[in-house]
């Protein structure tokens, strides 16, 4: 069983992933994924972090151009921007993790990367209550309200651009997920319980 979690910034997605890992006895990959890519692919962790869920251009256009210009002596991947090469290596590691056994993957387009695999449950955590997300960042990141709101909008915009760019789909669109949960209405613990029940139901 693989669980992927897409999440709005401040919705508690990371913590929910941690709680699910505890409840279900599964390995969690959030920042751990970037660390693994860095170690196994010998790529600077700093550079990977700088590009983590951030991008601006069209991956599919770039990939098409690289493929068109490829000759027998040229590897098309080397013609891609460095950030796109990082994404491809990260996608390979996500596939490897899915082969290894039960795991929870947070973000990084993992729902689309693993779309052709069986036993994958794709979750999106959001909050219809913006104040809920801001309050969480004020409490856990030590930000004032203005900075929390600004960071929230910035991060969600970056995640949407990154996801849309690499998947050619729309971040947060309901047809990309099996379950969408409003943590602002349910609360964090009830969100965890709902997802656990949903996952167990789908295993039967």
Instruction: Summarize pLDDT for 53-98 with one digit per residue, the tens.
Output: 987 565 555 555 455 444 443 455 566 788 888 999 999 999 999 9
Whole-number Cα distances in Å, 79 to 45, 75, 82: 22, 7, 9
Bridge partners of residue 123, in order along the sequence: 5, 179
Structure-block tokens of residue 57: 């251009």
Cβ atoms within 10 Å, residue 201: 8
3-state SS class at 96: helix
What pLDDT, on the 0 to 100 scale, is given for residue 78? Answer: 60
* Distance in angstroms (rounded) separating the CA atoms of residues 112 and 93: 14
Instruction: Measure the CA–CA gap between 198 and 100, rounded to whole angstroms.
Output: 22
The set of residues, in sequence order, having a beta carbon less than 8 Å from that of 57 and lying 6+ positions away, is 81, 165
Instruction: Tell me the three state secondary structure of residue 16.
Output: helix
Q: How far apart are CA 42 and CA 187, in angstroms?
A: 40
How many whole angstroms separate alpha carbon 177 and alpha carbon 3? Answer: 11
Residues forming beta bridges with residue 179, ordered by sequence position: 123
Joined together, the tokens standing for residue 83 give 């950030």
Q: What confidence category does residue 45 fall into, taking pLDDT thresholds of 50, 70 and 90?
A: very high
Ramachandran region, residue 27 (left: φ > 0; alpha: ψ -120 to 50; beta: rest):
beta
d(CA 85, CA 137): 32
Q: What is the pLDDT of residue 70?
A: 47
What is the CB neighbour count within 10 angstroms for residue 198? Answer: 16
Residue 50: band (very low, low, confident or very high) from pLDDT cuts 50, 70, 90: confident
Give the number of residues written for the chain.
204
Dist CA 41 CA 25 (whole Å): 27
Q: Does pTM surpass 0.75?
A: yes
Sketch out the chain's domains with CATH numbers.
2-203 (3.40.50.300)
pLDDT, position 1: 93
Count CB-CB contacts under 10 A for residue 69. 10
């Amino acid at each position: 069983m693989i669980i992927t979690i897409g999440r709005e910034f401040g919705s508690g997605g990371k913590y929910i992933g941690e709680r699910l890992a505890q409840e279900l006895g599964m390995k969690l990959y959030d920042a751990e994924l970037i660390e693994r890519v860095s170690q196994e692919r010998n790529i600077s962790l700093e550079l990977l972090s700088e590009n983590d869920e951030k991008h601006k251009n069209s991956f599919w256009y770039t990939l098409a151009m690289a493929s068109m210009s490829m000759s027998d002596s040229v590897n098309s991947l080397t013609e891609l921007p460095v950030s796109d090469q990082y994404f491809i290596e990260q996608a390979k590691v996500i596939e490897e993790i899915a082969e290894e056994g039960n795991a929870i993957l947070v973000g990084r387009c993992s729902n689309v990367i693993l779309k052709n695999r069986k036993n994958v449950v794709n979750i999106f955590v959001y909050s219809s209550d913006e104040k809920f997300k801001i309050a969480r960042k004020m409490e856990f990141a030590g930000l004032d309200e203005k900075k929390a709101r600004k960071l929230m909008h910035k991060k969600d915009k970056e995640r949407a651009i990154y996801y849309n760019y690499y998947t050619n789909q729309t971040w947060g669109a309901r047809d990309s997920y099996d379950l969408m949960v409003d943590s602002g209405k349910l609360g964090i613990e009830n969100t965890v319980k709902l997802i656990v029940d949903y996952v167990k139901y789908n295993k039967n």
